[in-house]
Amino acid sequence: MSTNTTQYANSARFAHRWQQWKVARERELAHPHGWLALVSLDWLSHSPQEYPGAPGTWWQDRDAAYVDPGGAELTVGGEPVTGVRRFELVNSGSGVRVAAGEVEIEVARRSGYLIRVHDPSAPALAGFAGVPTYDPEPAWVIRGRFEPFERPRPVTVGAVVEGLSHVYLAPGLVRFAHDGAEHTLIAFNGPRGDGLSILFTDATSGVTTYAANRALELESPDDGVVLLDFNRARNLPCAFTDFATCPLPPPGNNLPFAVTAGELLPYERRRDTPDPRHAS
């Protein structure tokens, strides 16, 4: 296992492809109902209550979340909510969006149920100036090998919110070499249903990159071979907003060297935010 430089001998082409990835990544972050549009997070109680920015009354029981529109105009998937609506969701899975005018209320399950309001007029969205990154470097594309488990294993990890945990299925391990030493990372299934996803920290975490985690998506293994392109290591939503409940990396996914590639600590998290027009 070694750094794969032959495929990226044309550095201009490599940089162009990375720039395309970066533009698409920032376009996704700037979506009017994306993570930067979050303005609140509320945990539902077992008694119907009203919450700021979320019309209707909301509550939960052991199995599901509920909303009673109470005359408010709410829709789910374009269909009006005309009475009490029940949402039974998978823990740590994708949520459901309830539209209320210009805002969307996300219903999600993280042990208990929560609602988060996505508002296109959110200050964080209005002030978004892109994501600072290290310069792309072909040497940070590293060849590795995927070693599948006999059966996918459920792995429990912590969260950036104290007291929460997430459970993900791990299909196997990824092994790779760096500076003559071998490293092993637990891999989860990719967020879009294909490929692999790795949560990790490294020696830059809490220094130049977000302290809690970064994520790296890998294409599906080709005869067991995978490419770890650390230039595309990205921040999770919790790096941008306090209204996220992101998972922490599993034990062992802490790399002992500095991965000087991928996304840096967001401007929004820096005490002395530089002018993005002059930032590298």
**With 60 as the cut, is the pLDDT of residue 272 above it?**
no
What is the secondary structure of 117-167 as a DSSP string? Answer: EE-TT-HHHHT-----BPPP-GGGEEEEEEEEEEEEEEEEEEBSSTT-EEE
Give the model confidence (pLDDT) of 50-60 as tens digits. 999 999 999 99
> Exposed, middle or buried by CB within 10 Å (0-12, 13-18, 19+), for 206?
exposed
pLDDT of residue 10: 67
Q: Report the mean per-residue pLDDT for the chain.
A: 91
pLDDT band of 192, cuts 50, 70, 90: confident
Kindly report, residue by residue over 210-240, the tens digit of the pLDDT. Answer: 999 999 999 999 999 999 999 999 999 999 9
Q: Is the pLDDT of residue 93 over 60?
A: yes
Does 27 score more than 90 pLDDT?
A: yes
pLDDT interval class at 12 (50, 70, 90): confident
Compute CA distances 9 → 19, 43, 141, 186, whole Å: 17, 51, 12, 30
CA distance 26 to 139: 24
Residue 234: beta bridge partners? 215
Q: Using 50, 70 and 90 to split pLDDT, how confident is the model at 175?
A: very high
